[in-house]
Amino acid sequence: MSKVFILNQEANVASNYLNELRDPSIQTDRARFRRNLERIGELLSFEISKTLDYQDADITTPLGVAKSRVITDKLVVTTILRAGLPMYEGVLNIFDHADSGFVASYRSSTGEDEVEINMEYVASGNLDGKIVILADPMLATGKSLLLALEGLLKNGTPKHVHIMAAIASQDGVDYVKNNIPVEASIWLGAVDAELNSKSYIIPGLGDAGDLCFGEKL
């Protein structure tokens, strides 16, 4: 594990977006909720961009030549359906040329306090040597995230994996740090202290998928 970065550890505009995501009176505006997740994805992507490999490039303008640089890494932006979609869009807003990958998984209740994670579908290209970003807005236990990553890793060995979440629990961060099988970094909006018995983050924000898209049957 090379690094854990937390956006709201310093004062910046991300706090406004996170506050709105958590506020029930603003959560009723679904488009704004999705847009705020997208914006956290954009800000974290900018931070990730500082870790990528670049090569020098001369850019010819109408008036001369500007010395610049371009990203040389090949990126694959992945997410877990369905709550991950707005954040995934935010990442793609920043990395124009990235490929994409998708995992479908869901949590089912097996008893009073138990939650089982079921994975149904993985779709991505070859991940060998690529930079993989896995965007999932709520890093709760970390188990569904690592299951999704395990599914993706059947498609190759990335150069580096970046895990991205808007809100994580401290337990989830520790679980991912201790169990992730590849070289990885974690990029978060905020870290909350607790998980409840149904594996929801406290204070968190509620059910991100429902707030983005409406309640499921």
Q: CB of residue 106 vs ligand URA: minimum separation in angstroms?
A: 11
Contacting ligand URA within 52-111 (CB under 6 A): 83
The answer to whether the CB of 75 falls within 8 A of the CB of 95 is: yes
Nearer to ligand URA, 137 or 158 (CB): 137
Residue-wise over 170-181: b if at least 16 C-beta within 10 A, else e? Answer: ebbbebbeeebe
Does 200 bind ligand URA (CB under 6 A)? Our answer is yes
Tell which one of 138, 164, 188, 212 touches ligand URA (CB under 6 A): 138
Among 161, 173, 190, 201, interactor with ligand URA by CB under 6 A: 201
* CA dihedral sign of residues 173, 176, 182, 187: negative
Segment near ligand URA (CB under 6 A); pick from 24-32, 108-116, 156-164, 200-208? 200-208
Distance CA 211, CA 205 (A): 9
Q: Is 97 helix (H, G, I), strand (E, B) or coil?
A: coil
Give the Cα separation of 104 and 83 in Å (integer).
10
**Is 29 or 207 the residue whose CB approaches ligand URA more closely?**
207
> Which of positions 147-166 make contact with ligand URA (CB under 6 A)?
none
Q: What is the C-alpha to C-alpha distance for residues 12 and 106, in angstroms, rounded to an integer? A: 33
In this structure, the chain runs to a length of 217
> CA nearest 6: which of 127, 165, 153?
165
Q: How far is the CB of 68 from ligand URA (least distance, A)?
A: 40
> SS3 helix, strand, coil % of the chain, rounded to 5?
35, 35, 30
The residue range among 42-50, 63-71, 96-104, 201-209 that interacts with ligand URA, by the rule CB under 6 A, is 201-209
* Region binding ligand URA by CB under 6 A among candidate stretches 16-24, 50-58, 115-123, 207-215: 207-215
Closest of 86, 73, 83, 82 to residue 162, by C-alpha: 73
Residue number with CB closer to ligand URA (78 or 144) = 144
Which of residues 166, 186, 204, 212 is near ligand URA by CB under 6 A? Answer: 204
Instruction: Report, in Å, the least distance between residue 182 CB and ligand URA.
Output: 23
DSSP letter at 199 equals S
Positions touching ligand URA (CB under 6 A) are: 83, 138, 140, 200-201, 204, 207-209
